[in-house]
Amino acid sequence: MNRTIVGGRVLDGGTGSGLEGIPVSNGEDIVDTDPDGRYSLGVDPEIHGYVMLTLPDGYRAIGGFYRHLASGRKPLDFELIPYERSTDRCFSLAQITDTHLTLAGNRSWTGKALREDLEVIYGIDKPDFVVATGDLTSKGEISQLEIFRKIISAATLDVVTVFGGHDGNSQRFAGNPGETFVGNYEKVLGPAWFSFDYGGRHFISYLGEDYFLSPEDTRMKELWFSRNLERHDDGRDIVILMHTSPTQPFLEVVSKYNVKLILHGHWHSSKVFRYGKALVASTPPLPFGGIDTSPRGYRLVTFGETGFTVRLRHVEKRAEPTDGAGEAPQAIWSTKLSPGLDRSTPVFTGEDLLLGMSDENDCASAGVLCIGTGSGRARWNFVTDSSIKNSVAYDGGRDVCAAISVCGTIYVIEATSGQMLWSEALPGHPHRWIFTSPAVDDGVVFAGAKSGYAAVDIEDGSMIWYSELEGNDAWCCYASPETYRNLLVVMVSRRGILALGKSDGAVEWETELSVEYHYAPHLVQGDRVLTGGEREELVLLDAGTGEIEWRGKLAGRYPTSLSMNGGYIYATTSEGSLQCFDLKTGAEVWTYQSGPDWFDMSPYIRGGRSILARPLVSDSEILLPGCDGFIHVIDSGTGGCRGRINLGSPITAGPCRTDRGICIGTRDGNLYLFEEDQLG
């Protein structure tokens, strides 16, 4: 190593005097300034690109908190000015992520959209600052990064940036493995890892995508990180900002320190769980709907004298009532859920309703909720380790329900009492991303997602088998397993439809299809499997062999729900249409179009129409739940609209028929029971 000594002073801009005890780093080593504000630091120009401060509470930096070594400036002085706001322990920040700024084409995530979104955040919550946790741009080209910098420099809010892989892709695609690809980012936006203090907390920006760094830079970054943690383990709460989700080794390391919050993006989805003292939160993208159909938005963190609260915030795009829309009829009962109903269709046991509950704030209310159909009141509430993203499975013979959390824990619960019989964590817990429902058949719970499925004895939770399919669950998918005779039929995105043996998990047949993670759950009915195929395609398979019977043309890019009834297929689409097909031939019969979405929830779409929930289909009519906030009553034979009922919030979980009427839940937390003839 060819080290030279660089130095300078950290000065109080108001008095001109030196500031003592300010940490100064080259991205590897960390030293403190002396009583006169002076520091000296060994640097190797081949590996160290800058000198940076850990900005303390109560100060702002004139000219930034870092100096590029390539500038040749000597000495490398820093001037700080008082900023009293950052000494207040009560403050808030907004986390945005995956903005993917692009400069070409008709994409919705342009600079104009980013400017507007930052002002919306300021108008709603007025946070003290914003943290943008990576994939700020689509490719990491200098021009994109400069436009991003220009936008945040002009914003009302201060924006702290974090490196994400897309911000280095232009270099990575032009380079060779083992090189470092953060040069464009650092040239425009500054160090790819750094720290600062604010409001009595210590914030660390961490780069978790090591394949963007050379082995030497990875070593240097990890050494800096460990030294940073050790130096700031002084009772201060530590917040880590990163792009990708933390790995198990990472969590084990930081759990030894006072890390209380980890904020990240990358998955374009929402997931919250606790690991030791830390809350780990993944946030959906700001400019468009999430892969998991989370509305586009941000995460608001509000710090108090001690502790903090976390809230997932959505950017609302209120739909206007359409012609002929009527107000909701008087319900038999209604109740308010907290949090609201997401994608979990209620399950009727014959007496009660069972709901999988998703809490994307702090996961404290995640679990399974039982509502009595006679009263609408909660009978019991079972709390799980993280959100239940989909419906539970009910075994009427045993009067138990099975649920699986997004982190990968299976729970079997007595349906009458709410008492847990057992729980079992799947391989990979808590790093699973499970948005499927379990299936229950012949005394066995089948549960999992893309990386693998398990068969577990429903009586005692013993693992019968585990079938590993892929390396991970990327990306979040609601397509749940379905049983057919001796088979478990599963969808594996970007691979196809597979049938596993129920007895051993072995692959019995596999049909290669271009199914994507955002596709509707496949449907097994009779001896057939219905699923999406290529773009704008519907495919019908033989359930016993996987052979394709026919392919049909969709009115949208892909199906979002599938139903069969009386010789007809009903498919909702990503463009908000309901399409009817002849079951035998695949020929289209009719198409119906819903209204504009209340929120932007479709993956990668900003400003569109979509249907997410499966409609309730009968021989005469269809109750179509809309992301526009309406129940559309559709004639099953003609596709004509008999009426629209305004429920005032997106309906993203399917209606449920009970012995007393139809149960419908909305995203804002209203759960209704209507008499069936009121909705006709």
The token pair at 443 is 């005394």
pLDDT surpasses 60 at 321: no
Which residues sit opposite 497 in a β-bridge? 491, 511
d(CA 326, CA 632): 10
What pLDDT shows up at residue 587? 93
Long-range CB pairs of 103-107 (<8 Å, 24+ gap) are 103/143, 103/144, 103/147
3-state secondary structure of 378: strand
The set of residues, in sequence order, having a beta carbon less than 8 Å from that of 179 and lying 6+ positions away, is 214
- My answer on whether 259 and 374 are in the same domain is no
Q: Are 498 and 490 in contact (CB under 8 A)?
A: yes
Least confident of 254-268, 394-408, 421-435, 597-611: 597-611
- My answer on whether 382 and 442 are in the same domain is yes
- My answer on whether 124 and 239 are in the same domain is yes
Q: What percent of the chain has pLDDT over 90?
A: 92
| CATH code, domain carrying 192 | 3.60.21.10
pLDDT surpasses 60 at 320: no
What pLDDT shows up at residue 339? 85
In the listed set 62, 84, 106, which residue is the last one of a domain according to the structure? 84
| Winning range, highest mean pLDDT, from 168-177, 231-240, 317-326 | 168-177
pLDDT surpasses 70 at 145: yes
Least confident of 71-75, 192-196, 462-466, 597-601: 71-75
The set of residues, in sequence order, having a beta carbon less than 8 Å from that of 378 and lying 6+ positions away, is 335, 369, 370, 371, 372
What pLDDT shows up at residue 417? 98
d(CA 193, CA 517): 32
pLDDT surpasses 60 at 594: yes
| CATH code, domain carrying 411 | 2.40.128.630
Identify whether 482 is part of a domain.
no
- My answer on whether 180 and 278 are in the same domain is yes
pLDDT tens digits, 19-49: 999 999 999 999 999 999 999 999 998 899 9
3-state secondary structure of 571: strand
- My answer on whether 31 and 132 are in the same domain is no
pLDDT surpasses 80 at 598: yes
Give 325's pLDDT tier (boundaries 50, 70, 90).
low
Identify whether 563 is part of a domain.
no
d(CA 494, CA 533): 10
The runs of H, that is alpha helices, within 92-208 are: 111-125, 142-154, 169-174, 183-189
- My answer on whether 9 and 129 are in the same domain is no
User: What average pLDDT does the segment 339-364 reach?
Assistant: 95
Q: Are 325 and 630 in contact (CB under 8 A)?
A: yes
d(CA 425, CA 441): 20
- Cα-Cα-Cα-Cα dihedral sign, residues 379, 382, 383, 385: negative
What pLDDT shows up at residue 324? 56
Which residues sit opposite 498 in a β-bridge? 490, 510
d(CA 108, CA 604): 9
Q: Which domain holds residue 405?
A: 344-475
Identify whether 263 is part of a domain.
yes
User: What average pLDDT does the segment 451-470 reach?
Assistant: 98
In this structure, the number of other CB atoms found within 10 A of the CB of residue 331 comes to: 19
- My answer on whether 307 and 375 are in the same domain is no
pLDDT tens digits, 352-393: 999 999 999 999 999 999 999 999 999 999 999 999 999 999
Q: For the chain, what is the largest distance between any 2 Cα atoms, rounded to a whole number of angstroms? A: 85
The token pair at 47 is 């590996």
**Does the pTM of the predicted model rise above 0.95?**
yes
Instruction: Give φ, ψ of 289 to 5 degrees.
Output: -60, 150
| CATH code, domain carrying 60 | 2.60.40.10
Give 328's pLDDT tier (boundaries 50, 70, 90).
confident
Identify whether 421 is part of a domain.
yes
Of 665, 656, 651, 643, give the one whose Cα is nearest residue 610: 651
The set of residues, in sequence order, having a beta carbon less than 8 Å from that of 502 and lying 6+ positions away, is 441, 442, 444, 446, 455, 483, 486, 487, 488
Which residue has tokens 């002002």? 119
pLDDT surpasses 80 at 529: yes
- My answer on whether 213 and 187 are in the same domain is yes
Of 408, 380, 404, 382, give the one whose Cα is nearest residue 393: 404
In the listed set 475, 497, 526, which residue is the last one of a domain according to the structure? 475
What pLDDT shows up at residue 318? 59
What pLDDT shows up at residue 393? 98
Identify whether 332 is part of a domain.
no
Give 56's pLDDT tier (boundaries 50, 70, 90).
very high
Identify whether 589 is part of a domain.
no
Which residue has tokens 């919030």? 649
- Helix pair angle (142-154, 111-125), 10° resolution: 30
The set of residues, in sequence order, having a beta carbon less than 8 Å from that of 194 and lying 6+ positions away, is 52, 54, 65, 66, 204, 205
Give 70's pLDDT tier (boundaries 50, 70, 90).
confident
* Helix, strand, coil percentages in the chain from 3-state DSSP, rounded to 5: 10, 40, 50
Average pLDDT of the residues of the chain: 95
User: What average pLDDT does the segment 112-133 reach?
Assistant: 96
User: What average pLDDT does the segment 231-255 reach?
Assistant: 95
- My answer on whether 41 and 157 are in the same domain is no
The token pair at 82 is 């008082």
What pLDDT shows up at residue 165? 98
Give 108's pLDDT tier (boundaries 50, 70, 90).
low
pLDDT surpasses 60 at 434: yes
- Label residue 324 exposed, middle or buried (CB < 10 Å: 0-12, 13-18, 19+): exposed
Identify whether 337 is part of a domain.
no
d(CA 674, CA 614): 18
The beta-strand segments (E) located in 15-103 are 23-25, 30-32, 38-43, 50-53, 59-62, 66-68, 78-82, 91-96
Give 71's pLDDT tier (boundaries 50, 70, 90).
confident
Identify whether 522 is part of a domain.
no
- My answer on whether 239 and 227 are in the same domain is yes
The set of residues, in sequence order, having a beta carbon less than 8 Å from that of 183 and lying 6+ positions away, is 171
In this structure, the number of other CB atoms found within 10 A of the CB of residue 496 comes to: 20
Position with higher pLDDT, 233 vs 49: 49
pLDDT surpasses 80 at 237: yes
In the listed set 475, 491, 519, which residue is the last one of a domain according to the structure? 475
pLDDT surpasses 60 at 319: no
What pLDDT shows up at residue 73? 75
pLDDT surpasses 60 at 106: no
- My answer on whether 306 and 385 are in the same domain is no
Tell me 167's DSSP state: G
pLDDT tens digits, 190-211: 999 999 999 999 999 999 999 9
What pLDDT shows up at residue 570? 97
Give 72's pLDDT tier (boundaries 50, 70, 90).
confident
Number of structural domains the chain divides into: 3
Position with higher pLDDT, 680 vs 579: 579
Give 340's pLDDT tier (boundaries 50, 70, 90).
confident
Whole-Å CA distances, 91 to 60, 198, 597: 16, 9, 33
Of 527, 631, 616, give the one whose Cα is nearest residue 563: 616
d(CA 119, CA 91): 18
Q: In what order do the strands lie in the sheet with 487-492?
A: 482-484, 487-492, 496-501, 507-512
What pLDDT shows up at residue 322? 53
Peptide bond into 475 cis (omega under 30): yes
What pLDDT shows up at residue 620? 95
- My answer on whether 132 and 184 are in the same domain is yes
User: What average pLDDT does the segment 299-307 reach?
Assistant: 98
